[in-house]
Amino acid sequence: MLLLPVLFLIPSLGSYWLAPNSQYSDLLIAHLPNAITLRDAILHYHQVPLWSSAILSGYPFAADPLSGLWYPPGWLAVIIPPPWGFNLSLLLHLVAGGLGLALFLRQEGISQIVAMTAGVQFIALPKTMAHIGAGHITLVYAVCWTPWLLWSEVRARGGRSSRGLSVPLGVVLGLIALADIRWIVPSGLLWLAYKAYRWMAPRHDPATGTGLPGPDRRWQKLVLSIAPEGGLALLIAAPLLLPLLQYTGLSTRAQMTAADALTYSLPPGRLLGLFFPTFGGSAEWVLYLGGGGAALLIYCLANPRLRRMTAFWWVVLAASLLLSLGGYLPGLRLVFSLPGLNLLRVPSRFLFLTGLSAVLISARAIEDLLQKADGDRAAGKEAGGLVVLVTGAFFLFLGAGLYFITRAWSFLWGGLAVFTGVLLVLSLNRRVFKPRTWIWIFLAFALVDLSVVNRMDLRFAAQPPVPPGFGQVEAQISKDVDAYRIYSPSYSVPQELAAADGLQLADGIDPLRLKSYDAFMQEATGVPEIGYSVTMPPFASAMPSTDNRDYRMDLKQLGLLNVKYVISAFDLPEPGLTLLGNFEGTRLYQNEYARPRAWVAPSAERYGTTASQIESLAWTPNRITIQASGPGFLVLSEISYPGWEVKIDGSPAAMTTAGEILRGVELPGGSHRVIFEYRPAWLLPAALLAGAGWLIGLLRIAIYYR
């Protein structure tokens, strides 16, 4: 049953799943290049890459949350060629998320058919599918672990049955952190709130209704019960957290303001999206619950007893909606300036919790309807049948009115879907269908409704899009056997194509960038800072093809970064640039000030002057070996970063920084073998901590099954 909502994706497993109205996707920009970097390093160099030179003139690959290096389930996308690997991994996570939700509801006393129906609804949430189209695959991975977090909490405190599978909650938290560290805050807050709620709530056996011994409600004990699971999660996530803490402190992310953190806050008018889909709209603002889900929420609100039973999830739904409003709600700037939250962007991602809580409320409503239909009396009056019908009719007329005003048929679709869902709810409430028949009719209706909306939020492409003229440009520069970098002020060299062709970029897109590199590139590119940006250079109006055409570059500065070629969508009348060709509007220039990847300067103070050329250079992801003659100052056109060490003829030497960002070392007279190697101090502690974490987790599972 859990495969039903993803059946429409099966024929497209060999295609890239993209958003219909956007030419960009995080899958193509970040995850595909990272998978290529990881696979190539292992296959060609037999190394796990801790460093990457693919973009931004080099960056700590192991510290990048988007690298996927430390998340074992995500390696399916590395082992299996794209796009098959990505798509299979996504499908497995979606089905696992639905299964986790169903198991959680079973622990809460919900019948199997209703629990599975809720799992189907969770998988089919348009919010999830829209983010898949946007390429936010690691976020989807993490969100799909959230139901398992709730399930693990129930199992930890004794659920409906003491038998069956059990996974320590700390392991699930650790996997969420490794999948997408950004989701650890929303999911962690949900876990803590749910834990406190269960801690304080009276306990009873859902199967028999009999009371169970009350909990020890001392808050000290509650806090102490949190520490072991949080500690286990920290151990498991150590290989990502340790380098990330170092990287974040040195990056532009640490300079992010509250205004930057509130990017993509949900406009209040978008709250209508709960009932009306936004076909092909921004993934960040999608929150459609489906006509069936909305109807069940209305039914629950009309039933006082159900409202009390689902009070916690209504609080979660309301709180997540409020948090998603971000900058539109007074006071939330202060909330998003708190430690932890101040490193998050896009408050609207709390809407994932809105969808989760809505599905859980819907499951309880369906269970209530089925129980009443199996009973001896109808419950129309108790359930406020007239209120439900009038509310459904209101949304039908509202949708029709908005359609005639805007001609957006999504309003008509949403109004009809909600009204149809209301009629289905009332039909069971009035015993028009037998319960078993009704549940299959409801499931079919929900699948049709959500599948149509989800299909509108996706398009399928056999290959990543190629900019005009890129093939000719690549053919020209591939003849060059020298090591070199490329800079584009107009994002004319997409990162996924650069990675596939082995091209290294001085520009790039990534949420983390070194502050020192950012300052250097502002001078080198001439493009001023516009606040926190994920792109280098920034694009003020999100129009790469035109935004930076009026800025003048410092070609000597770019030359220090080994930038030999500049590729642009517009003319660059810069002295020192030679036009090699205009290929369908894509201009290829050569920078006459380009420096080699390494050279020997007369001294550290004159690092930009060449005294002699190096004799040879051999590159691997974590090591660069150079043969060069001194005396002089060897300059390596690679970014300086903590963890890089240098040896001259096997003996450690003092590495210094040239030009504020490049690596350098003093060479004595004669020919020398110089090795730059990335050996970060965090690596051994992280490995030991993670090993201890997984060992503890496995031991806890073994003890449970003993």
Label residue 278 by pLDDT band (50, 70, 90): confident
The arithmetic mean of pLDDT across residues 515-536, rounded, is: 92
% the chain with pLDDT above 90: 74
Given a contact cutoff of 8 angstroms between Cβ atoms, the answer to whether 695 and 665 are in contact is no
Instruction: Find residue 411's DSSP bridge partners.
Output: none
- Domain spans, the chain: 14-201+216-251, 289-464, 470-591, 598-682
Six token digits for residue 182: 């950004």
pLDDT, residue 244, reads 95
Give residue-wise pLDDT tens across range 187-211: 999 999 999 888 877 555 554 445 5
Q: Which residue has the higher pLDDT, 516 or 373?
A: 516
- CB contact set of 405 (below 8 Å; sequence gap of 6+): none
CA 241 to chain centre: 16
Q: Which residue has the higher pLDDT, 282 or 583?
A: 583
> Phi, psi at residue 205, to the nearest 5°?
-85, 115
CATH number, span 598-682 = 2.60.40
How far apart are the C-alpha atoms of 202 and 540, rounded to whole Å? 55
Give residue-wise pLDDT tens across range 451-510: 999 999 899 999 998 999 999 999 999 888 788 999 999 999 999 999 999 999 999 999
Given a contact cutoff of 8 angstroms between Cβ atoms, the answer to whether 381 and 426 are in contact is no
How far apart are the C-alpha atoms of 209 and 424, rounded to whole Å? 29
Instruction: Find residue 625's DSSP bridge partners.
Output: 618, 675
The arithmetic mean of pLDDT across residues 84-98, rounded, is: 96
pLDDT, residue 436, reads 85
Label residue 279 by pLDDT band (50, 70, 90): confident
Q: Where does residue 316 rank: exposed (0-12), middle (13-18), buried (19+ CB within 10 A)?
A: buried
State the average pLDDT for the chain: 90
DSSP state of 218: -
pLDDT, residue 87, reads 96
Give residue-wise pLDDT tens across range 595-653: 999 999 999 999 998 888 999 999 999 999 999 998 999 999 999 999 999 999 999 99
Give residue-wise pLDDT tens across range 223-262: 777 888 999 999 999 999 999 999 999 998 877 777 777 8
How far apart are the C-alpha atoms of 235 and 248, rounded to whole Å? 19
% the chain with pLDDT above 70: 93
Give residue-wise pLDDT tens across range 396-412: 999 999 999 998 889 99
Instruction: Find residue 662's DSSP bridge partners.
Output: 639, 658
pTM score = 0.93
How far apart are the C-alpha atoms of 682 and 254, rounded to whole Å? 20
Six token digits for residue 545: 């093809």
Provide the pairing of β-strand 662-678 with 623-639: antiparallel
In SS3 terms, 287-304 reads as CCCCHHHHHHHHHHHCCH
How far apart are the C-alpha atoms of 289 and 311, rounded to whole Å? 19
How far apart are the C-alpha atoms of 262 and 81, rounded to whole Å? 36
pLDDT, residue 542, reads 87
**Angle between helix 291-301 and helix 409-429 axes, rounded to 10 deg:** 50
Label residue 161 by pLDDT band (50, 70, 90): very low
pLDDT at 35 over 50: yes
Give which of 354, 337, 238 is closest to 288, Cα–Cα.
Answer: 354
How far apart are the C-alpha atoms of 561 and 53, rounded to whole Å? 12
pLDDT, residue 482, reads 85
pLDDT at 106 over 90: yes
pLDDT, residue 588, reads 97
Give which of 414, 313, 297 is closest to 366, Cα–Cα.
Answer: 297
Give residue-wise pLDDT tens across range 178-187: 999 999 999 9
pLDDT, residue 202, reads 59
Instruction: Find residue 648's DSSP bridge partners.
Output: 651, 674
How far apart are the C-alpha atoms of 600 and 610, rounded to whole Å? 6
Label residue 10 by pLDDT band (50, 70, 90): very high
pLDDT, residue 205, reads 52
Six token digits for residue 397: 């007329």
The arithmetic mean of pLDDT across residues 358-367, rounded, is: 96
pLDDT, residue 204, reads 52
How far apart are the C-alpha atoms of 577 and 559, rounded to whole Å? 11
Instruction: Find residue 636's DSSP bridge partners.
Output: 598, 663
pLDDT, residue 383, reads 46
How far apart are the C-alpha atoms of 344 and 358, rounded to whole Å? 24
pLDDT at 126 over 80: yes
How far apart are the C-alpha atoms of 602 and 607, rounded to whole Å? 7
CA angle 695/701/706 to nearest 5° reads: 120
pLDDT, residue 341, reads 64
DSSP state of 251: B
Given a contact cutoff of 8 angstroms between Cβ atoms, the answer to whether 61 and 69 are in contact is yes
Instruction: Find residue 675's DSSP bridge partners.
Output: 625, 647
